[in-house]
Amino acid sequence: MNEDKLKALLQQDMNLRDAIRQEEAERPQMPADLNARLMQRVAQEKKQKRTRMVWPWIAAACVAGIMVVFLTPPKQTIEEKEIVAKVEKKEEKKQESKPEAPLKVEPKVTPAAPAKRPQQQRKPVAPTTAPKQLIAQEIAPIEAGNKQVTVSDEPTAKSHELTASTKTKMLTERDIPITRPENYKYTPEEIALMKRQANEAYLKWVELELEIAKHSQEQTAQKD
């Protein structure tokens, strides 16, 4: 059926047109406030769209913050607080002590306290060397220095040079032997000791269990 024929039908089908018109006239009218409600809904959807645009950014920022807090390596914090002590050895003090009384080291005085200072002033040794050897190396010259002091009552030229060279130096955690990475590992002797202690503890635990079992058996026998 072509369009011209249909147009003719449109004019021709009077009954059908009237029927449809009457049907349309009887249909419920559009509520007066429908457009106002629709505009409200449009405004609400606009607001929702705005929040949708914002919340992923807030969430991403929170996640980034958490990641920064938890995943930041602890090295940074150590580096920030790397300076743990400040050692200052002034020349004046030594110079003052020179004329009044020459240095005398009593044999009872432990060498650890005075020996630590020159030890700490040394530069950190390469981490490949064993810690015990390092300590031995560090203590040796200190002891030698002490001996020098005890032998000669008067201060020598060498001791003057030593005091002059001792300037203010900052100590870091890396200079303290316990924080060196090689010290984190156990030595074979320490491992053997720990194993021995574990075995002993296990044996003691077995003995204790046996005693408990015996005791409970005795108690049940007494009850019977």
Partner 1 sequence: MTETDTNLIEGLRQQSPKAQQQMLDRYGRDVFAQVIRLVSVTENAEEVYQDVFIKVFKHINRYDAEKSSLKTWVSRIAYNEAISFLRKKSAPMVYFEDYGDRAEALSDTEVDETFGHANQETVQLIRAALKYLPPEERAVITMFYYEEMSLKDIAYVTESLPSTVASKLSRTRKKLCRIIKMLQS
Residues of this chain that interact with partner 1 (CB under 8 A) are 1-3, 6, 9-10, 12-24, 27-28, 30-31, 34-35, 37-39, 41-43, 45-46
**Whole-Å CA distances, 37 to 27, 34, 96, 211:** 21, 5, 95, 85
Tell me the closest approach of the beta carbon of residue 46 to partner 1, in angstroms.
8
* Alpha-carbon distance values, 74 to 66, 68, 77, 80 (Å): 15, 12, 5, 10
Name the 3-class secondary structure at 223: helix
In whole angstroms, give the CA distance from residue 179 to residue 78. 11
CB of 40 to partner 1, least distance (A): 10
CB of 51 to partner 1, least distance (A): 17
Is 28 or 188 the residue whose CB approaches partner 1 more closely?
28
Element (H, E) at 76: helix 74-80
Q: With respect to partner 1, which residue has the nearer C-beta, 47 or 223?
A: 47
**CB closer to partner 1, 17 vs 195:** 17
Min dist. Cβ of residue 35 to partner 1 (A)? 5
